[in-house]
Amino acid sequence: MNWLIEIVLYLLLLTTAFLALSVKDLLAAAAAATAFTLTMALLFISMGAIDVGFTEAVVGAGIVGVYFIAAVSQTSRRTRD
């Protein structure tokens, strides 16, 4: 049962990573990067590293996502390339 959850988490990891890199809307890219970090934290916890997963969830999903949004608010919302 545990490997089934991990496979779903890995698929979610790849999906959010691809979304964060490919989407043109920078706010959506920041949200996808935050979802990537949260999935990463869940994977760390499923591997037994509670402390690492907790730090990843707090810093990656809690603080860095907010910093991404603050940085997007200082520039244009869409990429030009």
Judged by the rule CB under 8 A, the positions of this chain that interact with another protein are: 27, 50-51, 54-55, 58-59, 62-63, 66-67, 69-77
Please say which residue, 2 or 75, places its beta carbon nearer to another protein: 75
* CB of residue 75 to another protein, shortest distance in Å: 6
C-alpha angle with apex 17: 40 to 53, nearest 5 degrees? 10
* CB of residue 13 to another protein, shortest distance in Å: 22
Helix (H, G, I), strand (E, B) or coil at 25: strand
Residue 34 near residue 61, CB atoms below 8 Å: yes
